[in-house]
Amino acid sequence: MSDTIPFTIDGVAVEGRPGQTILQAADDAGIYIPRLCAHKELHPFGSCRVCTVKVNGRPQSACTMPCAKGMVVENNTPELLEHRRGLVEMLFVEGNHYCMFCEKSGNCELQALAYRLGIMAPRYPFQFPDRNVDASHPDVLIDRNRCILCARCVRASHDLDGKNVFQFVGRGSKKRIWINAEAKLKDTNLDVTDKAVEICPVGAILKKRQGYAVPVGQRLYDHQPIGSDIEAKRAAAAQA
């Protein structure tokens, strides 16, 4: 019995391993599928929907869908790219994203994905929601204006830190990231060394006194689009 799962992504043959999702198999094969909520140290969540691919013609989130033998996956198609642009634009207008003064700018996955998708301005009207900042903790702050509700902090706090600092409250457009305390982050057992603090893809959870440390021009996504590291694997394999 073979222990690999052959399938294709945009016509390219890929070998997945048992238990892998489409996204994980694609990463190993050097094919980048855009994602925001997915993170290699966390169990799949499937909320941002940016990794939506078509599996045998049906839309599925690549981060939650196990790979199966012979499946035909479409990833980089004009239709899916258009939907992904739409989703990223939705996230931009849903919150208050001021890249020009955000500490995370240049290292922000939302911003980087927008760059990669060539978004010049969102087509949707800005919602300008009223959200708050909680800087009560001595070492960490939450700026809910920037939160994209990806649950990375929720999962990391629970599964990696063995705590329960973050969870969502409310539903629909009133859904918010919330904390295990009546009101203030300082009243939780969050520690600056927690994985939940560093795993935020945007600038919603930040360590204090560490902003703007890397000069413009040397940041993660200043020169190379997000996903370049994954795609480099395939380029290297092709050369070898």
Partner 1 sequence: MSELEQGIRQICATFHNDKSRMMDIVQAVQARFGCVSSVALDLIAKAVGTARVEVESTVSFYTFLTDQPKGKIVIRLCSDVIDEMFGMGPVARAFEDALGIKVGQTTPDGAITLEWTACIGMCDQAPAAIINDTVVTYLSTDKAREIVAELRKSGDPRKLVHRLGDGHNAHPLVRSMVHNSIRRKGPVVFADLPPGSALRKALAMSPVEVIRDVKTSRLRGRGGAGFPAGMKWEFTRQSEGERKIVICNADEGEPGTFKDRVILTEYADLLFEGMAIAGYAIGAKEGILYLRGEYAYMRPLLDHILQVRRDAGLLGREVCGKRGFDFDIRIQLGAGAYVCGEETSLISSCEGLRGDPKNRPPFPAQKGYLGCPTSVNNVETYCCVARILDRGPGWFAEIGSKGSPGTKLFSVSGDCASPGVYEYPFGVKLIELLRDVGAEDAAAVQVGGPSGHLVGPADYNRSLEYDDLATGGSIVIFNKDRNVVHVVRKYLEFFVEESCGYCTPCRVGNVLLLQKIEDILHGRGTPADLAYLEQLAKTVKVTSRCGLGQTSPNPVLSLLKSFRPVLEALVKPQADEFLPTFDIRAALGSTEDLIGRKSVVFTP
Partner 2 sequence: MAKPKVATASLAGCFGCHMSILDIDERILQLIELVDFDKSPVDDIKEFTGRCAVGLIEGGCCNEENVRVLKDFRKHCDILISVGECAICGGIPAMRNTIPLKECMDEAYRNGPSVYNPTGVYPNDPALPLVLNKVYPCHEVVKIDYHLQGCPPPADTIWQALVALLTNKPMDLPYELIKYD
SS3 153: helix
Tokens 């994209």 label which residue?
148
Site string for partner 1, 118-137 (x = CB under 8 A): -----xxx-x----------
Give yes or no for a contact between 113 and 97, defined as CB atoms under 8 angstroms apart: no
If 0-12 CB within 10 Å is exposed, 13-18 middle and 19+ buried, where does residue 84 land?
Answer: buried
Contact between 46 and partner 2 by CB under 8 A: the answer reads: no
Contact between 87 and partner 2 by CB under 8 A: the answer reads: no
The distance of closest approach from Cβ of residue 238 to partner 1 in the complex, given in angstroms and rounded to an integer, is 31
The distance of closest approach from Cβ of residue 181 to partner 2 in the complex, given in angstroms and rounded to an integer, is 24
98, interface contact from partner 1, partner 2, none, CB < 5-8 Å by kind: partner 2
What are the Cα distances from residue 59, in Å, to 25, 26, 55, 79, 128? 18, 16, 6, 11, 31
The distance of closest approach from Cβ of residue 193 to partner 1 in the complex, given in angstroms and rounded to an integer, is 20
Contact between 29 and partner 1 by CB under 8 A: the answer reads: no
130, interface contact from partner 1, partner 2, none, CB < 5-8 Å by kind: partner 2
Q: Which of 111, 146, 161, 204 binds partner 2 (CB under 8 A)?
A: 111
Contact between 176 and partner 2 by CB under 8 A: the answer reads: no
Rounded Cα–Cα distance for residues 195 and 175 (Å): 23
Contact between 1 and partner 2 by CB under 8 A: the answer reads: no
Give yes or no for a contact between 181 and 158, defined as CB atoms under 8 angstroms apart: no
